[in-house]
Structure 1
């Protein structure tokens, strides 16, 4: 019997051994620069969105979105949930104290230790009448304080608290990610709306020119210079332009509705400035060094914090194999006589010390440990995914910004050439050196080129927004 406590401790220690998990397969290191010619050291992602976007109408829309967007409000409440979980984990480090009272009635058999003991007690000459125990039904009254406190010897509770705290920080980065995406979505929809306005203005202007051309071709038909086929070709082209205008108006309505939903309000007219032919980008785009630029992205920060939280989960799961030391003190009033309940002699107190640990059936503990290790691996791979996705988005954004800028310049020159071609075709047609088909082709070509020019300018603006988001901007 003297060696029984030592034997129990050895059994607990034998059941506590668990190997540390092997590390996940490492991914290749990221390049030192986003592009061979990139030498900027300051990233545009550091700029707040109020400074990055120079359009006052867009800034006003973004300000409304920050106050009313439902996704942002949901993200804020998600942070509240994780903060509550952190408070619960932190509270587990402190003792719990509860006040309560119990009342019970017990009937002990004649051949039970308690029954025999009560019978012998009542026969003792050392007790008075108030200390005699009822032998039929024995009451038991208790009122007082009970406490339970698990001593965190191995850091299990501290690891859980750390994991909860890191998830609070991760949820805050998740909220920043929602804001970043919201800024990008509103800006993209706004520039799309500007481009649609420009396309609609182009269609309406060309529609008027084509109506005037149709009127003149009808006059020339009456003079016998052209046939009915020419009139039909001009009329068909005017109808095509009018149908494109209606389609564009529908797209404008859909885009305005989308913006209003992002702003957390019901459909209404969106105030915006027109898309200027020489409209500049929101700000000078600089990207900086990948090692610092990518770590400013909310999704990368969120993945990093979640990875650290999973490491704390693994530490807590490993500590679960070790014995737990629990103190259970109590103090209060306890008596089998209601009349003596409030007697100072009825005061009782004590403490119970418990040491428990898994020995035989450890399936649940092992399952929790394996789950924590797998979660740690997942967190590491998600972190690598976030880094790779961020690097890809920045590289694509940089290339796209250069390519779309060159495409917009070339399409502007194309529009200028085709406008000159339309004027030349009209002059040659009046002089009888060109057919009406050449005039129609020139008009259709310039219309398509003007629409494509608006699309190219839109793509250039959208690419700048995408690059700004890829660099971690928008949530400040």
Structure 2
């Protein structure tokens, strides 16, 4: 007669069901946040263009440029400078921080590899040797003494034990904790790749800004040299007029002081050039050395504003947004991993091999054959503070990741809007500054002719030259800011370097 066992009346099943019910009811509540960001349909740059007196047709053209559905970020289209391109490629290949990030990516890949193996069975092989001497008045000692009397043979003392075999263990991933942990590691690995891309974008932008700042210093130095040369010619003219009694020593002293002032400024600019070259070489990952460059590029380069796409395109273009999104996905999944710690864990263990107290009997099969099979079920019931803390931390990390994702989106849209507005305003500033310099150069020419014909004061010449020098320096700075704004726009749109 076959005997059936009722699961409903089985004490083990009742105990297990009760434990699961207790675990389900005892899991604490946590906070989970969904990102709440409304991305605008277009960048807010129309108001800035209209305030600067742009025509309606020009405003419509600008609006089309910034709302194009497609954005093609190509380095050569943005910065047409072969020397800058060579510097950027050197930086991407040699920069130590890029190499450090690559090693972090390798470590993240190794973590994925390790996590994938955790939910697979583990098998180990080995040899174990041990010896044991038990007390005579213990249970084991009494058994040995009883066998000695019954069999009439001395029991080995101490007793050795030799084992040779295989052991296997397998944690059953009933709650998908191990597989979810593997997915978390994979998402973190992909996030580390995006983090490296974002850093490379920042590196490209930083090299470009530093390069343009170096060109600006070169142009300032050339501007000072030309001004000093003009002032020295004025001093010669004054000395000639002085010989004919048409001038005094005062203009000579004032212009000489102005020349020395500019020469002093020249030494400071030379020091700035050395420091800027060293900074750029550090970004390139090499020792200090001269930077090959064409300083005329700063004032002659044509600035073409490419299509920047719509704000929603930033989700696919910007590596920091993709990194934040992957981090958020990993944080969401990590909550499930932490929650699974409250549930019972199931583990199967098995072993098979040979065992004997003497090596002479180790291979006497089947007498020396030994095997084992067991199953374990463990569930935390009391003092679960560590598990609860991990669960609460997973919740806090998820909320933090959601806020960071929102911040990355808002920051990206703001950066693009700022860069577009800055490019528009700096373009008009450069035009106005060029007209100012043209007027000042005309005033310098008039002042020089009036002074040479004794119809003007030397102070007018000095003041006109000083104002022209300052205006040219301001134009150089504005031009450098204009090119840097183009770099900022490139970075804000999520550009990178593709060799």
Q: Which residue of 1 aligns with 2:78?
A: 52
In structure 2, the residue matched to 1:251 is 272
Structure 1 position 31 matched with structure 2 position 40: yes
The one-character-per-residue Cα deviations of 1:118-151 (angstroms, maximum 9, x if unpaired) are 56667779xxx9xx89364322221111122111
Describe the superposition over 1:19-55 as per-residue Cα deviations: whole angstroms up to 9, x where unpaired. Answer: 5533327544222211254333558963232443210
Number of residues of Structure 1 aligned to a counterpart in Structure 2: 470
1:147 maps onto 2:168 in alignment: yes
Counterpart position of 2:262: 241
Q: Closer, same or farther in 2 for the Cα pair 1:36/1:383, shift >3 Å? A: same
- Separation (CA, whole Å) in 2 of partners of 1:333 and 1:114: 22
- Aligned twin of 1:427: 449
Q: 1:18-417 maps to which residues of 2 (within 5 A)?
A: 18-19=27-28, 21-24=30-33, 27-35=36-44, 37=46, 38-40=63-65, 41-42=67-68, 46-109=72-135, 113-115=139-141, 134=155, 136-276=157-297, 277-281=299-303, 283-345=304-366, 346-417=368-439
Indicate the larger mover: 1-10 or 61-70.
Answer: 1-10
Judging changes above 3 Å, is the alpha-carbon distance between structure 1 residues 382 and 252 closer, same or farther for their aligned structure 2 residues?
same
Contact 2:207 2:280 (8 Å CA) reproduced: yes
The Cα of 1:106 is off from its aligned counterpart by 2.8
Per mean C-alpha deviation after superposition, the further-off stretch among 39-48 and 143-152 is: 39-48
Q: Cα deviation per residue 1:232-279 (whole Å; 9 max; x = unaligned)?
A: 111111112212222211111111111111111111111112234342
Distance in 2 of aligned mates of 1:311 and 1:114: 55
Cα displacement (A) at 1:382: 1.1
Q: Which runs of 5+ in 1 are unaligned?
A: none
Q: Which moved more, 1:316-325 or 1:144-153?
A: 144-153
Aligned to 1:460: 482
Q: Distance in 2 between the 1:66 and 1:433 partners?
A: 61
Task: Kindly state the Cα deviation for residue 74 of structure 1 after the two structures are TM-superposed.
Answer: 0.8
Cα separation, 2, equivalents of 1:50 and 1:341: 75
Q: Is the 8 A contact 2:28 2:388 kept in 1?
A: no
Tell me the SS of whatever aligns to 2:64: coil
In structure 2, what is the Cα distance between the partners aligned to 1:361 and 1:278? Answer: 73
Aligned partners of 1:325 and 1:94: how far apart in 2? Answer: 13
Deviation per CA, 1:160-183: give whole Å up to 9, x if none.
101100111011011101110110
Does the Cα contact within 8 Å between 2:231 and 2:255 map onto a contact in 1? yes
Q: Which TM-score applies when normalising by structure 1? A: 0.93
Q: Aligned partners of 2:148, 2:320: CA distance in 1, in Å?
A: 75
Q: How far apart in 2 are the matches of 1:307 and 1:448?
A: 51
| SS in structure 2 at match of 1:353 | strand
Q: Over the residues paired in the alignment, what is the CA RMSD in angstroms? A: 2.3
Give the direction of change, closer, same or farther, for the CA distance of 1:71–1:50 in structure 2 (3 Å limit): farther
Q: Kindly state the Cα deviation for residue 333 of structure 1 after the two structures are TM-superposed.
A: 0.8
2:5 maps to none
What CA distance in whole angstroms lies between the structure 1 residues aligned with 2:389 and 2:433?
62
Distance 2:293 2:279 in 1: 15
Structure 2 alignment gaps of length 5 or more: 1-8, 47-62
Q: 1:439 to 1:321 in 2, by over 3 A?
A: same
SS at match of 1:47: coil
Query: Which residue of 14, 39, 42 corresponds with 1:6?
Result: 14
